Amino acid sequence: MFQKFEMHSTRRLCPSIPSQNGWKKYFYGIFFLISLYIIIVIIHHGEQIRGITEKINNVKQNVEDNIEIEGRIFRIETALHNMKREQETMRRNIRKSIQKELEKYSWDKTGRTDFALETSGGRIVRLSKDTENFDASKSILGITLCEGMHGPRAMLQADMSPGHCWALKGSSGGVVIKLLGKIKINAVTIEHIPENMSPTLDIQSAPKDFEIWGLKDVNEKGEYIGRFTFKLNGQSIQTFDINQSNFYSYIEFRVLTNHNNPDYTCVYRLRVHGILAT
């Protein structure tokens, strides 16, 4: 009995030692828990990383959108700046053109010297052969169409009032004009009042076909320079260029036809342009 009691007492005083299989289960359990924790942490951080990545992508997209918007704004601002610069250039060019036209208009409307202008030294020498002045005034219902008292001097003057013209009888005739000096003629200009300035809106008395002859001396026959046509449906001031190299002190202006007025022809203004001999 004593021996049994001793053995039983010994068994209760010493703790039990786990077996080898128990240790394995314990280790695997701990490993599983650690692994599970790591996985949970990774998943949690993965979600955070994905959230951060999405935020970064959103920020990047916003930055790219802002860059694109800024680029568009820059292009629009550049286009507006270019348009403004072009408008300023156009304004300057328009102002220059207007100023040029005003200066040209103030300088006898053509921008060229008129060497036949009476106030500058031009004068009428004589009428051509078979030329007669239209001495009577022509009027209809009290409206004066042509004042015949002015004579050929009128076409060397700057007055363009309706009726202030050289009225020659019929549809042809001519006149010899002394120029300011010896001139190398390079153009002539015919000016006639426009239809809206005519009291009857009729300007058929305007010269149509005409010739210019150059004379170095008043008594010589003259040299043919050219034949030209004043168009009734054209501008009221028409310039005709001449290509020749001689210098003349006189010209003969010969009207060949008018625009179907059988009674008279009205020449309002004749200008002679060129280069004065030095």
Instruction: Specify whether 185 is located in the same domain as 264.
Output: yes
Count CB atoms within 10 A of the CB of residue 246.
12
Instruction: Specify whether 157 is located in the same domain as 192.
Output: yes
Instruction: Specify whether 101 is located in the same domain as 136.
Output: no
Instruction: Specify whether 79 is located in the same domain as 137.
Output: no
pLDDT confidence of residue 166:
93
- CB distance 273 to 114 below 8 Å: yes
Instruction: Tell me which residues of the chain have a pLDDT lower than 70.
Output: 1-28, 31-32, 36-37, 41-49, 51-53, 56, 60, 99-107, 136-148, 199
Q: SS3 of 265, please?
A: strand
Structure tokens at 192: 């006639």
In a domain, 5, yes or no: no
- CB distance 199 to 144 below 8 Å: yes
CATH code of residue 142: 2.60.120.260
Domain that holds residue 31: 20-106
Tell me how far CA of residue 87 lies from CA of 77, 79, 84, 100, in angstroms: 15, 12, 5, 19
The residues with which 18 forms a beta bridge, in sequence order, are: none
Which residues fall within 8 angstroms of residue 276, CB to CB, at 6 or more apart?
113, 115, 180, 181, 182, 183
Tell me how far CA of residue 166 lies from CA of 152, 153, 197, 218, in angstroms: 5, 7, 17, 21
Instruction: Specify whether 130 is located in the same domain as 231.
Output: yes
pLDDT confidence of residue 47:
65
Among the three residues 77, 106, 135, which one is the final residue of a domain in this structure? 106
Q: SS3 of 251, please?
A: strand
In a domain, 113, yes or no: no
pLDDT confidence of residue 46:
63
* Distance, CA of 29 to CA of 36 (rounded, Å): 10
Total domains, the chain: 2
* CB contact burial 54-67 (16+ within 10 A = b; e otherwise): eeeeeeeeeeeeee
pLDDT confidence of residue 147:
55
Say how many CA atoms lie within 13 Å of 209 toward its Cβ: 6
pLDDT confidence of residue 238:
96
Q: From its phi and psi, is residue 141 left (phi > 0), alpha (psi between -120 and 50) or beta?
A: left
Interval 141-168: pLDDT, tens: 454 555 557 889 999 998 888 888 999 9
**N-terminal to C-terminal alpha carbon distance within the chain:** 168
166-169 and 223-229: which strand pairing?
Answer: unpaired
Instruction: Specify whether 203 is located in the same domain as 259.
Output: yes
Q: Kindly tell me the number of DSSP H helices and DSSP E strands found in the chain.
A: 2, 11
pLDDT confidence of residue 265:
94
- CB distance 177 to 124 below 8 Å: yes
* Distance, CA of 195 to CA of 232 (rounded, Å): 9
Instruction: Specify whether 249 is located in the same domain as 156.
Output: yes
- CB distance 150 to 166 below 8 Å: yes
Instruction: Specify whether 159 is located in the same domain as 238.
Output: yes
In a domain, 204, yes or no: yes
Its pTM stands at: 0.63
pLDDT confidence of residue 242:
96
